[in-house]
């Protein structure tokens, strides 16, 4: 980064139905001062928050009651106001076959569960950095070539 450049915080929305995991992930993500983190407990709640928050990145749990992660992603992609927002999944199903399926749905990355709280902020920051680098390189908000998988 060049001297004098202002760091723009990445607005992250973390969505997980498990209150303990949500609290730990939220605390872990807030360790990175370059992230503004908001959490919520469901896909429905995430969709309701999007107009107010307009996050730079959404991290979704895959398995949630009601709207699961893939369905929530589909709804985000179907709305032209939010379709550009990058989405990553966090899941215990981080095997290659599942990761391939999540990427085909439009995810930019997958973070495996259980996650290491001390590494989580760095993993999410790496996703954001890859997106930012791709956008600068391509001069578009396209993220198609920047997909990361983090397994424990």
CATH of the domain at 138: 3.40.50.2300
Q: What is the largest CA-CA distance in the chain?
A: 47
How many alpha carbons fall within 13 Å on the CB side of residue 56? Answer: 18
Indicate the pLDDT class of residue 83, thresholds 50, 70 and 90. Answer: very high
pLDDT in tens, 95-136: 899 999 999 999 999 999 999 999 999 999 998 888 766 654
Is 3 inside any structural domain?
no
Distance CA 110, CA 90 (A): 6
Domain range enclosing 24: 10-150
DSSP code, position 4? T
Q: Has residue 5 been placed in a domain?
A: no
Say what the pLDDT of residue 48 is.
97
The residues, ordered by sequence, that sit 6+ positions from 132 with a Cβ below 8 Å of its Cβ are: none
Give the number of other Cβ atoms within 10 Å of residue 93's Cβ: 15
Six token digits for residue 42: 């469901």
Is position 115 within any domain? yes
In-domain check, residue 4: no
- Per the listing, tokens 């290491």 go with 116
Burial of 29 (0-12, 13-18, 19+ CB in 10 A): buried
Overall number of domains in the chain: 1
For residue 56, pLDDT over 80 is answered with: yes
- Residue showing tokens 């997909």: 147
pLDDT score recorded for residue 68: 97
Specify if 2 maps to a domain: no
149, pLDDT greater than 80: no
Tell me whether residue 1 is in a domain.
no
Question: Taking a C-beta distance cutoff of 8 angstroms, is the pair 89, 111 a contact?
Answer: yes
Average pLDDT, rounded, for the chain: 86
On whether the CB atoms of residues 90 and 61 are closer than 8 A, the answer is yes
pLDDT exceeds cutoff 90 at 71: yes
**Any domain includes 136:** yes
Q: Does 122 reside within a domain?
A: yes
């Amino acid at each position: 980064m060049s001297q004098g450049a202002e760091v723009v915080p990445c607005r992250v929305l973390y969505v997980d139905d498990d209150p303990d995991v949500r609290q730990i992930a939220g605390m872990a993500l807030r360790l990175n001062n370059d992230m503004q983190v908001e959490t919520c407990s469901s896909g429905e709640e995430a969709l309701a928050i999007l107009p107010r928050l307009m996050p730079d990145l959404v991290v979704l749990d895959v398995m949630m009651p009601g709207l699961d992660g893939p369905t929530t992603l589909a709804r985000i992609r179907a709305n032209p106001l939010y379709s550009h927002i990058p989405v990553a999944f966090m899941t215990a199903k981080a095997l290659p076959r599942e990761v391939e399926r999540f990427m085909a749905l439009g995810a930019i990355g997958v973070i495996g569960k259980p996650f290491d709280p001390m590494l989580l902020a760095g993993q999410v920051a790496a996703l954001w950095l890859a997106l930012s680098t791709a956008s600068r390189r391509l001069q578009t908000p396209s993220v198609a070539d920047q997909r990361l998988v983090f397994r424990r």
